[in-house]
Amino acid sequence: MRVVIKHPGIEPLIMVVSPSVENPDTIGLESLQNLVGGLIEYVEINSDLKIDCVINEEGKIIGLDPNFQYGYDTYDTIVGTAVFVSSDNEGNTIGLNDEQTKWVFESFGTV
């Protein structure tokens, strides 16, 4: 499944991750935890395109490096590795389609 991964200070890149063993149409929890280096937290990045960002839940507490700012009325800083994913109609985590991938690169492609 295609995701976009963004490390602090580095341009985003496309990565293919293994599907969940329990449900091969979704991305598994363990894969996401490995990518962000710990417990995961979902941050809604674009509700219209159904794009979420998976981050390390404890990133700010453990002092991970700043990655990017996001927000509409107010801004917050994402720290550590960010993995951009989507969700299906049942709330399962899935990969990105072409339109979603393009939006992520247009929005976060500059260091």
pLDDT, residue 109, reads 83
pLDDT, residue 72, reads 73
Range of the domain at 55: 2-108
Which pLDDT tens digit goes with each residue over 11-59? 999 999 988 888 888 998 999 999 999 999 999 999 999 999 999 999 9
Residue 106 φ/ψ, nearest 5 degrees = -70, -35
Which pLDDT tens digit goes with each residue over 60-102? 999 999 999 988 777 899 999 999 999 998 989 999 999 999 9
Task: Find the angle CA(68)-CA(3)-CA(24) to the nearest 5 degrees.
Answer: 145
Confidence of residue 110 (pLDDT cuts 50, 70, 90): low
Structural domains of the chain, count: 1
Nearest to 94 by CA among 39, 31, 10, 40: 31
> 18: which DSSP letter?
P
pLDDT, residue 22, reads 86
pLDDT at 111 over 60: no
